[in-house]
Amino acid sequence: MTRPKHVVRPFDLDRDERWATDWLDERLGGRRQARRGEVIDVLAAGLGFVAERRGEPAGLLTYRFDEDAVELSSLAADPRHGGIGSALLEALVSAVAAADRHWIWVVTTNDNLDALRFYQRRGFRIGEVRVGAVDRARLSIKPSIAGIGSYGIPLRDEFELVLDLRLEEPAKPVTA
């Protein structure tokens, strides 16, 4: 009998808030994320999933409901490219379907090529590009946003990706 590499369980704010805050500080610049012209606390809704590997946290996905959709508000996995992010996303898709919602959206930035690749390979489509949105957020709502992002790319724009579960089955994870 082989033991699974990781186990996904629901996020529990009381149990997980401390490590999740540290996890997000290290990987995403904190639990307060700027997108769509506002700053949100991605842990505030208390909704999400934790991936554990050998009993230790290895990934976190948080989400929140809006009017008719679900925002995937944060996703981070360690190690990357090991199926953890895919397992967390599959858990979210199941939760969204169980809540009778059909639309998932996520915002990332122009420098986050890994996220753009990850989401598109799993069926997300680019729904909107907000040119200069990160520049505006840095000036008005979150001055701590770096000027240079991943791969030395100037951090300037937001990409909103969308997945409509009614249109197509989400793509299965693809090997690199």
The beta-strand segments (E) located in the chain are 7-10, 32-35, 38-41, 48-53, 56-65, 70-77, 103-109, 125-130, 158-164
Residue 60 sits at φ, ψ, to 5 deg, of: -145, 130
Mean local confidence (pLDDT), 77-99 = 92
Q: Tell me if 175 is assigned to some domain.
A: no
How much is the pLDDT for 6? Answer: 81
Q: Tell me if 2 is assigned to some domain.
A: no
Residue 166 above 80 pLDDT?
Answer: yes
Place of tokens 């997945």: 163
Average pLDDT of the residues of the chain: 91
Q: Tell me if 1 is assigned to some domain.
A: no
Q: Tell me if 128 is assigned to some domain.
A: yes
Residue 78 above 60 pLDDT?
Answer: yes
- C-alpha distances in Å from residue 87, one per residue of 84, 96, 105, 109: 5, 14, 17, 22
pTM of the model as a whole: 0.90
Q: In the chain, which residue ranges form alpha helices assigned H by DSSP? A: 13-28, 84-98, 113-121, 133-140
Domain containing 22 — which CATH number? Answer: 3.40.630.30
Which domain, by its residues, includes 147? 7-164
Q: Tell me if 171 is assigned to some domain.
A: no
**Dist CA 58 CA 134 (whole Å):** 28
User: What are the pLDDT digits (tens) for 146-155?
Assistant: 999 999 999 9
pLDDT level of residue 176 (50, 70, 90 thresholds): very low
Q: Tell me if 138 is assigned to some domain.
A: yes
pLDDT level of residue 171 (50, 70, 90 thresholds): low
Q: Tell me if 59 is assigned to some domain.
A: yes
Q: Tell me if 43 is assigned to some domain.
A: yes
pLDDT level of residue 51 (50, 70, 90 thresholds): very high
> In the chain, how many domains are there?
1
Residue 48 above 90 pLDDT?
Answer: yes
